């Protein structure tokens, strides 16, 4: 990679060396720090102290990560490739100029800015996860996996705040989001988790076939990875059959949208269990599975963004 260039999640070049990885990671961290500083200022001007404090904390974290990447590279003798300029993705309904100009109702509800921030952290996680999964260089894999873990921590924090903001801004709708009864025992939770995994396996195996038929190797690869993860949840003797589908009639963008919604609902459910359960083992299991769902959701969202498939309804968490 020669020279300086501006990239986004959709245009970032293939990472082949640790030098490339550190150059792109540094640009990502710098962009995130700048965006969080901007968002913190917006929330401060609105008098939203708690959310401003969250964004200031994230700004400090990202700046620290950028400094840490530089020190990490120096200790390892890594000389990053020429510096990239990175830009966050903006929602379809919000241009870069509108974001810069907005000061009132259009931009600045807490839920809206948290949607933007969480979406970009999810894409950053997916970027690092994909690098780790595809590289044949063990050093690139090690660094990318560590970077992915950091991003997933930020995703979880932002999604928690986004859930709270949604409930405050939509009190009439929030009550009906999690109407399903929360399990009170680990056994009941595990049974529900296995049934959900079996249902997901049926759909995701079909999605692999649909993507292969459509010639979409990247989407097929994603669903194959998800199949492997869900299969690990099922004990032997609990098979999941493939759904019968007319492969030529399948719209992969609709499939991705539907699976993202289902996975988000599963994540919300896991978080509700973790918040409400009193059994420590159940809380730990729900938190662990919520993190796995968050990883799946981030990758589904990243693939949706790559195909230009946006969800048609606002996300509640």
Residue range(s) defining the domain that contains residue 70: 6-169
CATH number of the domain encompassing residue 278: 1.20.1260
Pick 145 or 246 by higher pLDDT: 145
Q: Would you state the pLDDT for residue 311?
A: 41
Q: Both 22 and 165 in a single domain?
A: yes
CATH number of the domain encompassing residue 110: 1.20.1260.10
Q: Would you state the pLDDT for residue 89?
A: 78
Helices (H) and strands (E) in the chain, counts: 10, 2
pLDDT tens track for 149-159 = 988 888 988 88
Has residue 174 been placed in a domain?
Answer: no
Which phi-psi region, left, alpha or beta, contains residue 32 (left: φ > 0; alpha: ψ -120 to 50)?
alpha
Q: Both 211 and 125 in a single domain?
A: no
Separation of alpha carbons 185 and 6, rounded Å: 51
Q: Would you state the pLDDT for residue 248?
A: 56
Give yes or no for residue 205 having a pLDDT over 50.
Answer: yes
pLDDT tens track for 17-29 = 888 888 889 889 8
Paired tokens of 155: 């995703």
Q: Which of 100-104, 205-209, 239-243 is predicted most confidently?
A: 205-209
Q: Both 237 and 288 in a single domain?
A: yes
DSSP letter assigned to residue 142: H
pLDDT tens track for 11-62 = 888 888 888 888 889 889 899 999 999 889 888 888 889 889 989 998 998 8
Q: Both 162 and 194 in a single domain?
A: no
Separation of alpha carbons 269 and 182, rounded Å: 8
Q: Both 150 and 19 in a single domain?
A: yes
Give yes or no for residue 106 having a pLDDT over 50.
Answer: no
Give yes or no for residue 262 having a pLDDT over 70.
Answer: yes
What b/e sequence results for 164-176 when a residue is b if at least 16 CB atoms lie within 10 Å of its CB, and e otherwise?
bbbbeeeeeebee
The share of the chain scoring above pLDDT 70, in percent, equals 81
Q: Could you say which of 109, 135, 169 is where a domain stops?
A: 169
Number of domains in the chain: 2
Q: Would you state the pLDDT for residue 56?
A: 94
Q: Would you state the pLDDT for residue 37?
A: 92
Secondary structure (3-state) at 288: helix
Separation of alpha carbons 45 and 59, rounded Å: 17
pLDDT tens track for 243-253 = 555 555 678 88
State the number of CA atoms in the 13 A half-sphere of 187 facing the CB. 0
Has residue 284 been placed in a domain?
Answer: yes
pLDDT tens track for 266-317 = 998 888 888 888 889 999 999 999 999 999 999 998 898 888 744 433 344 4
Q: Would you state the pLDDT for residue 97?
A: 55
């Amino acid at each position: 990679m020669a020279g300086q260039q501006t990239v986004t999640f959709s245009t970032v070049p293939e990472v082949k060396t640790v030098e490339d990885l550190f150059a792109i990671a540094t640009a990502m961290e710098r962009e995130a720090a700048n965006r969080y500083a901007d968002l913190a200022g917006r929330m401060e001007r609105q008098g939203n102290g708690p959310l401003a404090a969250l964004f200031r904390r994230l700004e400090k974290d990202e700046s620290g990560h950028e400094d840490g990447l530089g020190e990490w590279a120096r200790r390892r003798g890594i000389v990053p490739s020429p510096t990239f300029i990175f830009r966050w993705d903006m929602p379809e309904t919000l241009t870069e100029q509108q974001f810069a100009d907005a000061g009132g109702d259009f931009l600045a509800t807490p839920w809206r800015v948290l949607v933007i921030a969480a979406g970009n952290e999810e894409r950053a996680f997916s970027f690092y996860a994909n690098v780790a999964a595809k590289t044949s260089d063990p050093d690139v894999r090690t660094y990318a996996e560590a970077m992915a873990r950091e991003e997933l921590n930020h995703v979880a924090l932002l999604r928690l705040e986004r859930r709270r903001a949604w409930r405050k801004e939509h009190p009439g709708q929030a009550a009906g989001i999690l109407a399903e009864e929360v399990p009170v025992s680990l056994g009941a939770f595990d049974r529900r988790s296995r049934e959900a995994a079996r249902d997901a396996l049926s759909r995701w195996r079909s999605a692999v076939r649909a993507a292969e038929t459509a010639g979409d190797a990247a989407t097929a690869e994603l669903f194959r990875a998800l199949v492997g993860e869900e299969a690990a949840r099922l004990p032997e003797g609990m098979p999941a059959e493939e759904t019968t589908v007319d492969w030529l009639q399948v719209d992969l963008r609709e499939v991705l949208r539907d699976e993202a919604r289902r996975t988000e609902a599963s994540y919300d459910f896991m978080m509700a269990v973790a918040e409400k359960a009193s059994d420590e083992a159940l809380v730990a299991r729900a938190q662990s599975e919520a993190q796995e769902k968050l990883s799946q959701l981030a990758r589904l969202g990243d693939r949706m963004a790559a195909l230009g498939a946006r969800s048609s309804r606002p996300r509640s968490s």
